């Protein structure tokens, strides 16, 4: 099993374990620290969607920092089982809901808009262009979109990159709704 640690909040220093799986690249500690510096350390009351949950590092990190709701979506049965085990390890925080599902179907069926969506899909599979048309109704007007990609992106549908970084081969972005 692979592992990653939660870097801040209530579950700080807790270790999450997850299996090898094609396309699964946990967001490194340093990148998560940067992301939560951009967002503010506390996510009190936020509703978050971790659409390609994988290791759970982003979703559990959001819950650790006070998010009121974190919906984690994962399609791989082995990875999903590890997410449930990590949920148990953290004493089943009520704010976390874990579901098996397809990212497109999940995003298309969203009824309540989220404050923050984490998008870290497998690379070179064309996920971002397919998801882009569904983002508008899934995010609140003042919401944020966090995207990891194999290349730099300036915008995605009606969302513009406001912050960007690069760690190894990973480009990470914080996007906000375009106002022009």
Give the confidence band of 180 by pLDDT, cuts at 50, 70, 90. Answer: low
Q: In this predicted model, which residue has the larger pLDDT, 26 or 97?
A: 97
Instruction: Give the pLDDT confidence of 99-126 residue by residue, as tens digits.
Output: 999 999 999 998 889 999 999 999 899 9
Give the confidence band of 16 by pLDDT, cuts at 50, 70, 90. Answer: very high
Judge whether residue 73 has pLDDT over 90: yes
Of 96, 99, 64, 76, which is closest to residue 24 (Cα–Cα)? 76
Residue 105 in 3-state DSSP?
Answer: helix
Tell me the residue range of the domain where 105 lies.
2-177
Give the pLDDT mean for 123-149: 94
Domain count of the fold of the chain: 1
Q: For 51-79, what is the HEC assignment? A: CCCCCCHHHHHHHHCCCCEEEEEECCHHH
Q: Report how far residue 161's alpha carbon sits from residue 143's, in angstroms, rounded to the nearest whole number.
A: 13
Sort 170 into a burial class: Cβ within 10 Å, 0-12 / 13-18 / 19+: middle
Structure tokens at 65: 């920092």
What percent of the chain is predicted at pLDDT more than 90? 82
The average confidence (pLDDT) of the chain is: 93
Instruction: Supply the CATH number for residue 71's domain.
Output: 3.40.50.150
The residues near 116 (Cβ < 8 Å, ≥ 6 apart) are 39, 43, 46, 47, 48, 49, 62, 67, 143, 144, 145, 146
Q: Is the dihedral of CA 31, 35, 41, 46 positive or negative?
A: negative
Instruction: Give the pLDDT confidence of 145-158 residue by residue, as tens digits.
Output: 999 999 999 999 89
pTM: 0.94
């Amino acid at each position: 099993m692979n592992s990653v640690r939660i870097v801040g909040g209530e579950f700080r220093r807790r270790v999450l374990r997850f299996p090898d799986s094609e396309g699964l690249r946990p967001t490194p500690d340093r990148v998560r620290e940067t992301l939560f510096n951009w967002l503010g350390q506390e996510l009190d009351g936020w509703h978050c969607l971790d659409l390609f949950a994988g290791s759970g590092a982003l979703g559990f990190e959001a819950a650790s920092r006070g998010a009121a709701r974190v919906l984690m979506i994962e399609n791989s049965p082995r990875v999903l089982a590890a997410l449930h085990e990590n949920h148990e390890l953290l004493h089943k925080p009520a704010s976390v809901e874990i579901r098996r599902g397809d990212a497109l179907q999940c995003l298309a069926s969203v009824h309540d808009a989220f404050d923050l969506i984490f998008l870290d899909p497998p690379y070179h599979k064309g996920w971002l262009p397919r998801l882009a048309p569904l983002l508008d109704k899934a995010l609140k007007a003042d919401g944020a979109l966090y995207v990891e990609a194999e290349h730099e992106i300036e915008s995605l549908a009606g969302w513009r990159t406001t912050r960007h970084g690069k760690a190894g081969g990973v480009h990470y972005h914080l996007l906000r709704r375009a106002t022009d």
